[in-house]
Chain A
Amino acid sequence: DGGITQSPKYLFRKEGQNVTLSCEQNLNHDAMYWYRQDPGQGLRLIYYSQIVNDFQKGDIAEGYSVSREKKESFPLTVTSAQKNPTAFYLCASGQIWDSNQPQHFGDGTRLSIL
């Protein structure tokens, strides 16, 4: 079955530590996105990528970094510079230049601070 896989489902970060969240898709989508969801908040865009080896900052990119070395993969690193990292992180993919296509989401990674 085609879809998006996020891992791990739960992640704990210590002070001063960088952590990396994994996102893999087998939908052959060009675009991939990272969102952050806080209680009572909508999804906020962190980073997105429309093509391999290229990515753009979203609305809340500070304290995060990404890479897009393969079409299938778009890992997100939460750096120690992100002072409030506790949230639910969602990865999505979509087909660009085709507005008929919605975004497909993974089941998220919940990050907490130890």
Chain B
Amino acid sequence: SQKIEQNSEALNIQEGKTATLTCNYTNYSPAYLQWYRQDPGRGPVFLLLIRENEKEKRKERLKVTFDTTLKQSLFHITASQPADSATYLCALDIGEDDKIIFGKGTRLHILP
């Protein structure tokens, strides 16, 4: 079955540094991968989508890479701020009925 793993349950990063989150998957070749942010008690909010033929995507302080050989996506937040503290979820399409599957998420804490 498809499996999607995010590297760590929680990550502490000093303010101003770059936070890097990892998403690995097995047993599938997704056409695209998405990253979402979720705050406590709220629904996930879409951040970025990257396609299988794209190596890198940027949006303001966010950068996503997608390596289909390694079956891995990296999500970077540069110049991190305490307001970036949240849970970040990766999700990939399974090529069926527009369904996507989600990783368990990484809780990111930016320390002031």
B28 interfacial contact with A, CB 8 Å: no
A110-B69 Cα distance, complex, nearest whole Å: 39
Chain B positions within 8 Å of A40 at CB level: 9, 104
Chain A positions within 8 Å of B105 at CB level: 42
Interface residues on B, range: 20 to 34
**Per-position binary interface string of chain B over residues 37-49, scored 1 when its CB falls under 8 Å from any chain A CB and 0 otherwise:** 0000111111001
Establish whether residues B89 and A96, one from each chain, have CB atoms under 8 Å apart when the complex forms. no
**Per-position binary interface string of chain A over residues 87-114, scored 1 when its CB falls under 8 Å from any chain B CB and 0 otherwise:** 0001010101101101111111010000
Establish whether residues A102 and B97, one from each chain, have CB atoms under 8 Å apart when the complex forms. no
Q: Knowing A40-B9, A99-B31, A102-B49 are in contact, say whether A108-B42 is a contact too (CB < 8 A).
A: yes
B80 interfacial contact with A, CB 8 Å: no
Q: Knowing A99-B32, A99-B93 are in contact, say whether A94-B43 is a contact too (CB < 8 A).
A: no
Of the candidates B31, B93, B98, the one whose C-beta lies within 8 Å of that of A31 is B98
A interface, by DSSP: helix, strand, loop or mixed? Answer: strand
Chain A positions within 8 Å of B59 at CB level: none
Q: Nearest CB to that of B107 among chain A residues?
A: A40
Q: Nearest CB to that of B1 among chain A residues?
A: A59
**Per-position binary interface string of chain B over residues 43-84, scored 1 when its CB falls under 8 Å from any chain A CB and 0 otherwise:** 111100100000000000000000000000000000000000
Of residues 1 to 53 in A, which have CB atoms within 8 Å of B's CB atoms? 4, 6, 31, 33, 35, 40-43, 45, 48, 50
A56 interfacial contact with B, CB 8 Å: yes
B100 interfacial contact with A, CB 8 Å: yes
Chain A positions within 8 Å of B93 at CB level: 99
Establish whether residues A108 and B98, one from each chain, have CB atoms under 8 Å apart when the complex forms. no
A35-B103 Cα distance, complex, nearest whole Å: 13
A-B contact pairs, 10 of them (CB 8 A): A6-B43, A40-B104, A48-B97, A56-B97, A92-B43, A99-B31, A99-B32, A102-B34, A103-B100, A108-B41
Give me the interface of B with A, judged by CB distance under 8 Å.
4, 9, 31-32, 34, 36, 41-46, 49, 89, 93, 97-105
